[in-house]
Amino acid sequence: MAILLASTDFWEDMEVWSSGLQEAMPEMDVRVYPDEGDVNDIEYAVVWKHPRGILTRYPNLKAILSLGAGVDHVISDPELPDELPIVRLVDKKLTHEMILHSLHWVLHFHSDQYLYRIQQQSREWIQQSSVQSEDRTIGIMGLGNIGKAIGDSLINLDFKVIGWGASPKSSLGAIEYYYGQEQLSGFLSQTDILINVLPLTENTKDILTKTELSYLPKGSFIINIGRGGIINENDLLSILDTRHIAAAALDVFAEEPLPENNSLWDHPSVYVTPHIAGQSNPSSAAKTIAENIRLIEMGESPYPIYSLNSGY
């Protein structure tokens, strides 16, 4: 039995990933594409932006596992084998990185650091009035594993946290939850700092246009660590120009890498980072991937499996 590692994006880390997986699963032969050996040996493909079409080469493939939280890079392959489980990566280290990234920008906006930076450039010494964390409402779109963990961390810092998702949820503790299109405006109207952690699906694409963004209170902030394409970028630029939204920290974009001529680069109220909010940790993620492969070998279901119906 063999595991194939394939990526067009992580080449500099393939040795680290390969070593991590081999250590986690010494009973398996870990191979790195294109050094695949006998294609009949390959039973698991662990991928990130793999070369399109290669997964049809392995007749004994049992599952496709993602090296990251998203699977857009897998399902966009037009030659994807049918009826194979696609396993997303939910890893504690990745989740921790997403929490830290979110906390960084929440605190940056909450404590007026964005404004003090502008004042510094103008040599202005103006002390802004502070807002207590319990008086600041953080709204999280997408209350899955990562969104819930971010919310819990913010509650521990005494922020008020509310959430929104496509369908009803329970067991969210102190997070007040809204769901469905009919409750979106009520959720947004209470949100001082919006964190998007939604996956990109047919139902979430362009879910935040100028209409929805206008529901946010004047002077609010946006942090996008979910997927590009959920927030209409032209509408966001338009509403930033009116200063209805004070600033936005964007880590994901409709087109990546972000084109050099995209206006988001130059907008004074936009902070751009190159999709680094939740980078996978090879050592930790390899153990999570190994656990899922062992579950499959025992005839059990790995977690979480991508659902075609829900789109994530």
Return the CATH number at 145: 3.40.50.720
Same domain, 171 and 248: yes
Q: In this structure, is residue 306 part of a structural domain?
A: no
Same domain, 263 and 285: no
* Active-site hit among 50, 88, 101, 275: 275
Q: Is 275 marked active-site?
A: yes
Same domain, 257 and 144: yes
Q: In this structure, is residue 310 part of a structural domain?
A: no
- What H or E segment, with its residue span, contains residue 283? helix 282-297
Q: In this structure, is residue 312 part of a structural domain?
A: no
* H helix intervals, 63-201: 72-75, 92-110, 113-121, 145-156, 184-189
Q: In this structure, is residue 304 part of a structural domain?
A: no
Same domain, 235 and 284: no
Domain around 174: 92-272
> What confidence score (pLDDT) does residue 311 get?
78
Q: Is 50 marked active-site?
A: no
What domain count does the chain have? 2
Cβ-contact 64, 74 below 8 angstroms? yes
- Strands of 63-66's sheet, edge to edge? 29-32, 2-7, 42-48, 63-66, 86-87
Determine how many CB atoms are found less than 10 A away from the CB of residue 132: 9
> What confidence score (pLDDT) does residue 12 get?
56
Give the list of residues 6+ apart from residue 167 with CB closer than 8 angstroms, or none.
Answer: 179, 180
Same domain, 117 and 240: yes
> What confidence score (pLDDT) does residue 70 get?
87
Residues pairing with 178 in the sheet:
164
User: Can you give the C-alpha Rg of the chain in angstroms?
Assistant: 21
* Active-site hit among 50, 52, 227, 243: 227
Backbone φ/ψ region at 15: left (φ over 0), alpha (ψ -120 to 50), beta: alpha
Same domain, 80 and 30: yes
Q: In this structure, is residue 288 part of a structural domain?
A: yes
> What confidence score (pLDDT) does residue 10 get?
62
Residue-by-residue pLDDT tens, the chain, 312 positions: 999 999 987 655 888 999 999 999 999 999 999 999 999 999 999 999 999 999 999 999 999 999 988 898 999 999 999 889 999 999 999 999 999 999 999 999 999 999 999 999 999 999 999 999 999 999 999 999 999 999 999 999 999 999 999 999 988 999 999 999 999 999 999 999 999 999 998 899 999 999 999 999 999 999 999 999 999 999 999 999 999 999 999 999 999 999 999 999 999 999 999 999 988 899 999 999 999 999 999 999 999 999 877 777
Same domain, 156 and 212: yes
> What confidence score (pLDDT) does residue 284 get?
94
Q: In this structure, is residue 302 part of a structural domain?
A: no
Same domain, 140 and 258: yes
Same domain, 284 and 234: no
Q: In this structure, is residue 78 part of a structural domain?
A: yes
DSSP string computed for 133-157: GGG-EEEEE--SHHHHHHHHHHHHT
Same domain, 239 and 258: yes
Query: What are the E-state strand segments in the chain?
Result: 2-7, 29-32, 42-48, 63-66, 86-87, 137-141, 160-165, 176-179, 193-196, 220-224, 245-250, 270-272
Same domain, 83 and 130: no
Same domain, 200 and 264: yes
**Prediction pTM value:** 0.93
Q: In this structure, is residue 244 part of a structural domain?
A: yes
